[in-house]
Amino acid sequence: AKDYELRQYESAKWVSTVIRGENQKEALRQGFWKLYHYIQGKNEKEMKIDMTVPVTCLVKSGCTDFKISFFVPFEHQDSPPQPTDSDVFIEERKAAAIFVRSFGGFASPEKYAEEAEALARILRNRGQPFHEDFFYTAGYDSPFKLFNRHNEVWYFKK
């Protein structure tokens, strides 16, 4: 479809942290830095790991906990170094079919929510079953990139 795509993701490891009781923008900022320190060597092997994209944020309806995650690079998928910060953990996400809506520009929490609602409306109108109680935001660009930015919202197919 021109307004969304359905992707199949394989199971993969992500390094994540949960930020509680903050607004989404502040949770993303705090979570990003915790994960950035992990890839800069704050892990058992004191190993620097390449930054990957996307940076995802799990948004649950009516919840002020946000899970921020970095994709673990392919060369570390088998055995990612364990975090030394107790707030940071490695998680394995199962293979999944995901509905994705892409958009450009600088994404604010409001813009992500607006795009997620648009995607949910389209999926409902087309009779596509999906998990409506949560979505992921996915950012692909450094904050320093000014043009041709790429952002996504993801809903998991039921």
pLDDT tens over the chain, length 158 residues = 689 999 999 999 999 999 998 899 999 999 999 999 999 999 999 999 999 999 999 999 889 999 999 999 999 999 999 999 999 999 999 999 999 999 999 999 999 999 999 999 999 999 999 999 999 999 999 888 999 999 999 999 99
Q: How many domains does the chain have?
A: 1
Q: Which residues contact 141 (CB under 8 A, 6 or more apart)?
A: 53, 149, 150, 151
* Residue 96 to residue 94: CA distance in whole angstroms: 6
CATH number at residue 104: 3.20.80.10
